[in-house]
Amino acid sequence: MVGIIIASHGEFAKGIYQSGKMIFGEQANVAPVTLMPSEGPEDIKKKMLDAIASFDDDKEIIFMCDLWSGTPFNQASSLLNGHEDHWAIMTGLNLPMLLEAYAARFSSESSHEIVAKVAGVAKDGVKVLPETIKIEGEEKKAKPADSMPKGAIPEGTVIGDGKIKYVLARIDTRLLHGQVATTWTKTTNPNRIIAVSDNVAHDALRKQMIEQAAPPGVKANVTTIDKMIKVDKDPRFGNTRAMLLFETPQDALRAIEGGVSIKELNLGSMAHSEGKVVCTKAVSMGKDDVETFEKLQKLGVKIVVKKVPADSEENFDEIMKKAKEGLGL
């Protein structure tokens, strides 16, 4: 796997490394190196060499530095000499750029290929609100093509094979957030993220926040459970690769009982509240939750417990057992 060295003035490299770990999970062959006020060029160069020595393979390396022409960049540049065919340097480090590099390592073993892909994402990661702010020197970008059918398409029209494709169905109290918008989106490649929630569909502010949180190239929207059941049966959605997000297992059960063809549910998080017991760091359950999951399992739905794709799958039976014991069931 391509090695990544994150290099910065001060603790920035360690901070963004921790942020990436929180969103994308533990990563092999990645090391943050820092240039502290009391240190000089040779100190960070040694840290870079030590990091490279700790990797499984030093053939393909990417240096992600904070500033062009800064000391971390200059020392990385000196190490690049003689390795130009397999090593590469990027500057202007930001979190979208780092996460894209993590994702790209799954499909490419070339540092040059990864850098070529990541460079555009780093620029696209700079966004502003309100959208009325005009960014100097930037022309208005065309919006990504919408894969969903337009209102003008007559009912009964069959697009593609007429069946919506579900690349991921997830239960997550927070619905669309960093781990979902980056990690899961990159590993499942949807062209539409759909938050299925009656509560959010009738909450204008939450609905707007979810729609704005969509990653580049992916459309996000919020719908009610009943409308999602209708969409599942609509042949006009045949070219749609959808990621479904549910706040609760109860919402997921309603959708599945209504005919939404989901065979697997990713359990990401369920917030703690009064009457619930803590089962894992991310999952708390009440009596109704336990009963709902049992109904889902009887319907043949597999429950996969993972916060991010890189995590190992947790034992759902053990989680249910802990919930029942804590609730006295």
Pairing outcome for strands 284-285 and 277-278 = antiparallel
Residue type, 107: S
Annotated catalytic residue within 83, 177, 202, 272:
177
Tell me which residue of 54, 116, 121, 110 sits closest to 86, measured CA to CA: 110
Q: How far is CA 180 from CA 43, 208, 220, 258, 306, in A?
A: 38, 17, 12, 25, 11
3-state SS, the chain, equals CCEEEEEEECCHHHHHHHHHHHHHCCCCCEEEEEECCCCCHHHHHHHHHHHHHHCCCCCCEEEEECCCCCHHHHHHHHHHCCCCCCEEEEECCCHHHHHHHHHHCCCCCCHHHHHHHHHHHHHHCCCCCCCCCCCCCCCCCCCCCCCCCCCCCCCCCCCCCCCCEEEEEEEECCCCCHHHHHHHHHHHCCCEEEEECHHHHCCHHHHHHHHHCCCCCCEEEEECHHHHHHHHCCHHHCCCEEEEEECCHHHHHHHHHCCCCCCEEEEEEECCCCCCEECCCCEEECHHHHHHHHHHHHCCCEEEECCCCCCCCECHHHHHHHHHHHHCC
177 tagged catalytic: yes
CA 42, chain centre distance (Å): 37
Annotated catalytic residue within 9, 83, 86, 112:
9
Catalytic residue IDs: 9, 177
